[in-house]
Each structure stands twice: as structure tokens, then as C-alpha cells.
Chain A
């Protein structure tokens, strides 16, 4: 079983839709939860991170972590064509050697004008 499972998609939504991206994990030692965005032919870039449980909001993006259920989500409100990308969840914990991250497999999102 993979340590991190991500809804694989792909997802195709109309402009303005609310998008929900989700990951589950099995390692209870994970404490930092991240979302990376990767545009076509580019490397991933950090979009948001959350420490432990709770919500974090940044503009149209909200990251949610539920450690009791080992479930994290990224919500995108009023989605735009420029949000079309692959979204990767990633996790780490203090016991993780050398700052290594464990990634989900990514969800490809297309927002149609």
C-alpha cells in the first residue's frame, strides 16, 4: 500500500467551479502537508503548506488537514483557466530523514473557459 494516495483524476471543470482535490495517507508521523502545482513542462512549485490539523486560506485556495482521518484536501474557489495544472500533495514529518517528502501521484486539472 502506498503511504500517500491521491485521487488520480483527470478533472475537467468549467470556469468558476469549485474544485476539490484530495489525498489520504497512512503514516501518522506526517506533520507537514503541502500542495504543489505543476504546469506543463515545468517543475512543481509550492502552492500551500499546513502544519498539523486545521485549515489555511490563501486567496481562492483553502488547504484542509484532518489528521484524525488522515485526509487532506485543497479547495479552489472560482476556478480559472490559469489554474489548469497538475496538483501534487506532499507530506513530511520530523522523523523524516534529510527533509525528504512523500508525494501523491498527482491530479491533472483542466479548467475550461
Chain B
């Protein structure tokens, strides 16, 4: 069964900490995405990557960075965590050229205190 795996289901971090969220997919997909999901706001795109070492800003990149050193792994980095980054973070992937059918991970619930 194809999978997108997010390394942590729940995380609690302190304000100012550097936080790494990891995502690994086993489908050889070129495109990978990081979203955050908040009540009343839906899914908002933070960053996406369409190839190794390539990245593009989404709609809300401020306070975040990403790393894609290998095709299967896409990392989201919170440089200095703040309480307004408390959210559900979802990783997704899709093959290049497809316009429907993301595969999502189960999400990481991050709380910043």
C-alpha cells in the first residue's frame, strides 16, 4: 500500500525552538507539499517542491523553510517556533503531471507553548 509517512503524530515545542517536521513517501512522486490546517481556514499551502532541491513558496511561507535533499523526503522547518504556528500540519505528494489525487500523510499536530 502506497504511503506518505509523517514522523510524528503529536509534538509539543517551546516558543523560539527550531522545529523539524519530516515527511517520507514511497511512491517515487516528484511533487510534495506542506499544508497547515486550521478550523475555519481549511488547508493552506506553505511550501511545495516539484523536484529534488527545488522549492516554491505557497500562500503562507512566512516563518517556515523547507528542505528536499532526496526525492522521497520533504522536511518542513520552523526556524523559531511561535504560538501562532500551533496547527495541524499535513504533507502530501503526487506524481508529476497529475492534477488530482494527492496522497496525504496522517498529519502532525504541533502545539507551541
Residues of A whose CB lies within 8 Å of any CB of B are 6, 8, 31-32, 34, 36, 41-46, 49, 88, 92-94, 96-101, 103-106
User: In the complex, how many angstroms separate the beta carbon of A3 from the nearest chain B beta carbon?
Assistant: 10
Residues of A within 8 A of B92 (CB): 43
Q: Is the CB of B102 within 8 A of A8?
A: no
Q: Is the CB of B97 within 8 A of A99?
A: yes
Q: How far is the CA of A99 from the CA of B97 in the complex (A)?
A: 7
Q: Is the CB of A105 within 8 A of B90?
A: no
Instruction: From known contacts A43-B106, A100-B48, infer whether A105 and B99 are also in contact, taking CB-CB under 8 Å.
Output: no
Residues of A within 8 A of B99 (CB): 31-32, 92-94, 96, 99
Q: List 19 A-B contacts (CB under 8 A).
A: A8-B40, A31-B99, A32-B100, A36-B104, A41-B9, A41-B106, A43-B105, A43-B106, A44-B43, A44-B104, A46-B100, A96-B99, A98-B31, A98-B56, A99-B31, A99-B97, A99-B98, A101-B100, A103-B42
Q: Which of B4, B42, B97, B101 contacts A49 (CB 8 A)?
A: B101
- The chain A residue sitting closest to B54, CB to CB, is A98
Q: Is the CB of A103 within 8 A of B43?
A: yes
User: In the complex, how many angstroms separate the beta carbon of B37 from the nearest chain A beta carbon?
Assistant: 8
Residues of A within 8 A of B58 (CB): 100
Q: Is the CB of B104 within 8 A of A104?
A: no
Q: How far is the CA of A93 from the CA of B94 in the complex (A)?
A: 15
Residues of A within 8 A of B100 (CB): 32, 34, 46, 49, 92, 101
- The chain B residue sitting closest to A102, CB to CB, is B45
Q: Is the CB of A88 within 8 A of B106?
A: no
Residues of B within 8 A of A45 (CB): 104
Q: Which of A31, A94, A106 contacts B42 (CB 8 A)?
A: A106
